[in-house]
Structure 1
């Protein structure tokens, strides 16, 4: 089923409650975050003034996730973002961030496709399956829920648990793998922020 082309319109009432015009019910910030993870575009407007409040609410969603320990943005990146508001970089940063995320979205399906079709001499190397599984977990963590032009859902046969299969009882191994991947990602982000 194709996603609707029009953004989902959410109206904010004077009471600050958010009203989903599509389903005629009230929604929370978590509901809005879920819509976005499912690939929907969302537009939030003030009912009385008609002002577009989307940016404000998206930032609030990000702040709530960050405050719950679901950190995606390292301190260095947040610090650089704050600095960009007071420098000439302010005009360059939005385009850079948009281009960076677009590259990630475009690369998502290509990387998953390549991993799914890997065969030949590399596939018979010792440890190849473990490496492939770590890459899949990393990509799911990084790209989970992201949708964009040219990217689709992660193939069902590339579930987080095992290569070519769905997640099983290996929760402890997956958690250890994720902890290691997060550590490596944080290290990479530190290096990038120093550039």
Structure 2
């Protein structure tokens, strides 16, 4: 059985095909991206030379997603990143980016943890639904599946109605109104 704590070893053959050593089959860049989204670290090495090619392939995955219109990095961030390679700040930028992503992951974990802990607010009507929505949002965000700014939430497959039925929306509105009433009573 594979150890999920160890990086998944991928070997690149001379033909440039990528071989998953755990499952003994060939994989694509998209497969590797799925492993990473699933929380698994990967290490890609050249079979002949033994060189570590992980960075090269991770950059290629990011570049392919960006080229397909799945933009994550705004132009100004990309521009600043290119500039950082040509300035004295080169040593600071990688550490800053690593620290920023670490803070983001920690913040997401703590927020989800706080929403699931025993909390007096969790007993209020609608809080479980709000917690589930927040958890789904956080999972989508970590997989890069968020809608672009200014766009609406994903629509259901069969019509233009946002995911969920009208009844569910009305129930959520009702629960929010009840929650607001309880909160205003607590202020008094």
2:162 corresponding residue in structure 1: 173
Mapping of 1:10-159 within 5 angstroms?
Answer: 10-116=10-116, 119-120=120-121, 135-136=134-135, 138-144=137-143
What do residues 54-82 of structure 1 show as CA deviations (whole Å, max 9, x unaligned)? 00000000111111111111111111101
Q: Distance in 2 between matches of 1:6 and 1:129?
A: 35
Kept after mapping to 2: 8 A contact 1:3/1:40: no
Larger radius of gyration: 2
Any stretches of 5+ residues in structure 2 without a counterpart?
145-152, 164-188
Contact between 1:12 and 1:45, CA under 8 Å: does it hold in 2? yes
Specify the SS of the correspondent of 1:44.
Answer: strand
- 1:133 CA displacement: 7.4
In 2, Cα distance between equivalents of 1:115 and 1:34:
27
Q: Find runs of 4+ consecutive structure 1 residues off by over 3 angstroms.
A: 115-120, 127-138, 169-172
Name the count of aligned residue pairs: 152
Change (3 A) 1:134 1:24: closer
Contact 1:108 1:143 in 2 (8 A): no
- TM-score with structure 1 length normalisation? 0.65
Deviations 1:104-150 (A, max 9, x none): 11111211233345654xx67xx9899877755543332238xxxxx
What is the match of residue 6 of structure 1?
6
Q: CA RMSD in A?
A: 3.5
Structure-2 change in CA distance of 1:76 and 1:87 (3 Å): same
Gaps of 5+ in 1: 146-159, 162-166, 175-195
